[in-house]
Amino acid sequence: MFKTMSALLCLSAFLSLSAGDLQIKNKSRVAFLGDSITQQGQRREAGYVNLVVQMLKHKGIAVTPVKAGVSGHKSNQMLERLQRDVINKKADFLFLSCGVNDVWHGKRGVPLEQYKKNITAIVEKAQKAGIKVCIMTATMIGEDPDNANNKKLAAYNDFLRKLASEKKCLLADTNAAMQKALAALKKEYPKSRGPLLTSDGVHMSPAGDMMMARCLLETVGIPKGEIDFTKLPCKGEVRLMVPLSFYNEIYKRNLSAGGNTGNVDRQINLSVRK
């Protein structure tokens, strides 16, 4: 009896501690400020924004998403609309995803020194408004870490990591998570060809959205072992909306056969389409 009571008390203490460690509180307004990767993540049922919101709900944390992803936007444009799209909407927490377009747009992009000023201003303005900030490193531009764009992007991400430390922000290192996931997939599925986490090298496939959401959830305190998207009502958005558990199986089968995320939908049996 004593052992049973002790075990229950330890479990209760652990659960209370875990809940207290979560960086997002129940009934918070959570903003997602970003570019087209975020815009797709908020529009698609199984996009990373919606996966984060649904998994938090699954863990008993009900939040209101403030969806602020706009296609093509860079750091200067995000700074310009921060007040309107985040602060005025009374956000309590901010996931900041910015950097891909600043580099990818080349001459129309934002040089590193100006990018530093823009991002610093976004963080400082948000914190002054009482918003807790989580900085996300910029995901890859093409699934090759050694290409010219990703080499240039590395300096932008190094700055973000440093800024997060200086400003006492949370850091969701989605770039590192993406590189790690790609390396693991290439090792596990050596026959695979084409993009593994994206549809075009930049914008996420369902697998990429799950990778991003997992990184964000771990950053705010959800243990890795408790993140299982197949338990959510969200569906993978291939040509036919299918449960994420089904998508995962088709995805693995397709990679084993030398495919990629771009043709997963063609592997769905016709009987499933009905």
CATH number for position 129: 3.40.50.1110
Other CB atoms within 10 Å distance of the CB of residue 120 = 16
Q: Is residue 188 part of a domain?
A: no
Q: Is residue 76 part of a domain?
A: yes
Q: What's the CA gap between 38 and 213, in Å, rounded?
A: 11
Q: Is residue 230 part of a domain?
A: yes
Helix (H) or strand (E) holding 242: strand 241-243
Q: Is residue 273 part of a domain?
A: no
Phi, psi of 69 (to 5 degrees): -95, 130
Q: Is residue 2 part of a domain?
A: no
The predicted pLDDT at position 266 comes to 60
Q: Rounded to two decimals, what is the model's pTM?
A: 0.89
pLDDT tens for the 274 residues of the chain, in order? 434 434 443 443 334 334 457 999 999 999 999 999 999 999 999 999 999 999 999 999 999 999 999 999 999 999 999 999 999 999 999 999 999 999 999 899 999 999 999 999 999 999 999 999 999 999 999 999 999 999 999 999 999 999 999 999 999 999 999 999 999 999 999 999 889 999 899 999 999 999 999 999 999 999 999 999 999 999 988 777 888 988 888 888 889 989 887 667 665 554 454 3
Q: What's the CA gap between 271 and 27, in Å, rounded?
A: 42
- Domain holding 91, by residue range, is 24-175+204-234
CA 250 from centre of chain:
22
Q: Is residue 74 part of a domain?
A: yes
Q: Is residue 119 part of a domain?
A: yes
- Tally of domains within the chain: 1
**DSSP assignment of 71-99:** TT--HHHHHHHHIIIIITTT-SEEEEE--
Q: Is residue 183 part of a domain?
A: no
The predicted pLDDT at position 12 comes to 37
Sequence letter at residue 166: E
Q: What's the CA gap between 255 and 264, in Å, rounded?
A: 9
